């Protein structure tokens, strides 16, 4: 029997509720595969700041580093928005990704079951959409220096820097091609080559790497066009590889194709330890009301089995259970006529029944 150490970081807002359901799924599936789990829960984000003065306390970071995988809920909330940026919940998350060396963020946007009805787009546009957004996660404008707000003359100036080294681009490009190879063999690299030097280099390096992948069809697209094409004709996309900030923005858009941001899971990989988290935020407006959709976090557990424990079958099993559950039950965000509306906790229980 193998034992896996998993650190659970519920974080803020609905993070607590959605991780509680996902942990039940994690436990159920682990039992089915004779896997022993050592779970430890640690504070993270604003909750951690309130407890310790830091959004990523050393103890939490050390626990993550000593784990086989990490499951995170969400971070952030209005009560922490006025803190200095270095102390904000989001900063804790960015530092965690960076400390764990998680340079690749995988965000699969696909439509589960008849969720097509929940999409704001027309059925014929979205039906059959299956996109993998690969977002660079530890570089770009999120981490570039110099940064800050400073006085220049008699006014304040805000500064951020978009910076990518060749090696950073190369490794995420390789990840893009490798993943496209396991999917439908088409890779779209998204940049702003017409304006930004950092992405002129991006396009050059991605093109160089493509020489090693003659079986993959590569195309390049400007980010503004990509945003438009995602809504116009999402089925043209297979795998997308892009920078940190473009990936942040496009993945929220891609998520809505599938009906709800509450459905999109993610895996952050590239280091020794994988981090799994829903793409949605902490949704403080519905916190504590048992209204949240736990499926993105539950599907993130599936991604953990696939990418950290090499158990593709367990991921497929979880996805299947989610599809079966959606046949009848919906949380409010994806509710449509003819289905039964349930809360976060019951959604977790229904998925477990279908496992």
Q: Which residues bind ligand IPM (CB under 6 A)?
A: 75-76, 90, 93-94, 248, 279
Q: How far is the CB of 76 from ligand IPM (least distance, A)?
A: 6
Cβ–Cβ under 8 Å, residues 116 and 127: yes
Output 140 or 234, the one with its CB closest to ligand IPM: 140
From the candidates 212, 224, 285, 327, give the one annotated as an active-site residue.
224
Closest CA to 177 of 215, 123, 121: 215
Q: How far is the CB of 90 from ligand IPM (least distance, A)?
A: 4
What is the signed CA dihedral for 318, 247, 286, 9, rounded to 10 degrees? Answer: 60
From the candidates 222, 252, 290, 320, give the one annotated as an active-site residue.
252
Has 164 been annotated as catalytic?
no
Closest CA to 220 of 241, 234, 201, 238: 241
Closest CA to 296 of 109, 153, 170: 109
From the candidates 4, 42, 192, 317, give the one annotated as an active-site residue.
192
* Torsion 245-260-280-27 (CA) sign: negative
Cβ–Cβ under 8 Å, residues 18 and 297: yes
Has 248 been annotated as catalytic?
yes
State the binding partner of 90 from ligand IPM, Mg ion, none, CB within 5 to 8 A by kind: ligand IPM
Output 112 or 142, the one with its CB closest to Mg ion: 142
Where b means 16+ CB within 10 Å and e means fewer, 317-332 reads: bbbebbebbbeebbbb
State the binding partner of 117 from Mg ion, ligand IPM, none, CB within 5 to 8 A by kind: none
Q: Which residue is nearest to ligand IPM (CB)?
A: 90
From the candidates 49, 103, 142, 164, give the one annotated as an active-site residue.
142
* Torsion 264-180-129-29 (CA) sign: negative
Token pair in block for residue 144:
């570039």
Has 222 been annotated as catalytic?
no
Output 24 or 280, the one with its CB closest to Mg ion: 280
Token pair in block for residue 95:
């530092």
Determine the 3-state secondary structure of 239 from DSSP.
strand
Has 112 been annotated as catalytic?
no
State the binding partner of 93 from ligand IPM, Mg ion, none, CB within 5 to 8 A by kind: ligand IPM
DSSP 187-199: EEEEE-TTT-HHH
Q: How far is the CB of 133 from ligand IPM (least distance, A)?
A: 10
Residue 302 burial class via C-beta count within 10 angstroms: exposed 0-12, middle 13-18, buried 19 and up? buried
Q: How far is the CB of 355 from ligand IPM (least distance, A)?
A: 27
Collect all residues with Cβ–Cβ distance below 8 Å to 302 and sequence separation of at least 6.
265, 314, 315, 316, 317, 318, 319
Residues that bind Mg ion (CB under 5 A): 248
Cβ–Cβ under 8 Å, residues 111 and 322: no
Q: How far is the CB of 315 from ligand IPM (least distance, A)?
A: 20
Q: How far is the CB of 135 from ligand IPM (least distance, A)?
A: 8
Output 230 or 355, the one with its CB closest to ligand IPM: 230
For residue 115, give the DSSP letter.
G
Output 76 or 294, the one with its CB closest to ligand IPM: 76
Q: How far is the CB of 117 from ligand IPM (least distance, A)?
A: 26
Has 327 been annotated as catalytic?
no
Crossing angle of the two packed helices 15-32 and 312-326, in degrees rounded to 10: 120
Output 93 or 263, the one with its CB closest to ligand IPM: 93
CA 77 remoteness from chain centre: 18
Active site residues: 142, 192, 224, 248, 252
């Amino acid at each position: 029997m193998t034992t896996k150490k998993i650190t659970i970081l519920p974080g803020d807002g609905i993070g607590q509720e959605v991780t509680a359901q996902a942990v039940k799924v994690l436990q159920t599936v682990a039992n089915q595969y004779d896997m022993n789990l050592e779970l430890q829960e640690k504070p993270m984000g604003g909750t951690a700041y309130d407890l310790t003065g830091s959004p990523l306390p050393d103890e939490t970071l050390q626990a993550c580093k000593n784990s086989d995988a990490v499951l995170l809920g969400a971070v952030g909330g209005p009560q922490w928005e006025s803190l200095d940026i270095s102390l904000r919940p989001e900063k804790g998350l960015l530092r965690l990704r960076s400390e764990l060396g998680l340079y690749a963020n995988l965000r699969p946007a696909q439509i589960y079951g008849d969720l097509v009805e929940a999409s704001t787009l027309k059925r014929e546009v979205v039906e059959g959409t299956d996109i993998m957004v690969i977002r660079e996660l530890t570089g770009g404008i999120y981490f570039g220096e110099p940064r800050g707000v400073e006085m220049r003359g008699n006014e304040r100036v805000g500064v951020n820097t978009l910076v990518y080294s060749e090696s950073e681009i190369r490794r995420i490009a390789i990840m893009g091609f490798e993943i496209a190879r396991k999917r439908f063999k088409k890779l779209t690299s998204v940049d702003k080559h017409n304006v930004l030097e950092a992405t002129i280099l991006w396009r050059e390096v991605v093109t160089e790497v493509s020489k090693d992948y003659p079986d993959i069809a590569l195309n390049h697209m400007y980010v503004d066009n990509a945003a438009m094409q995602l809504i116009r004709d999402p089925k043209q996309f297979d795998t997308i590889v892009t920078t940190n900030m473009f990936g942040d923005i496009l993945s929220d858009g891609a998520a809505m194709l599938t009906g709800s941001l509450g459905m999109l899971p993610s895996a952050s990989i590239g280091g020794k330890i994988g981090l799994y988290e829903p793409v949605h935020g902490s949704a403080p407006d519905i916190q504590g009301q048992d209204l949240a959709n736990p499926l993105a976090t539950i599907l993130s557990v599936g991604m953990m089995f696939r990418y950290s424990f090499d158990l593709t079958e367990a991921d497929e099993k979880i996805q299947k259970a989610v599809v079966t559950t959606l046949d009848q039950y919906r949380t409010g965000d994806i509710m449509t006529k003819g289905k039964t509306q349930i809360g976060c906790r019951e959604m977790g229980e229904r998925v477990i029944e279908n496992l």
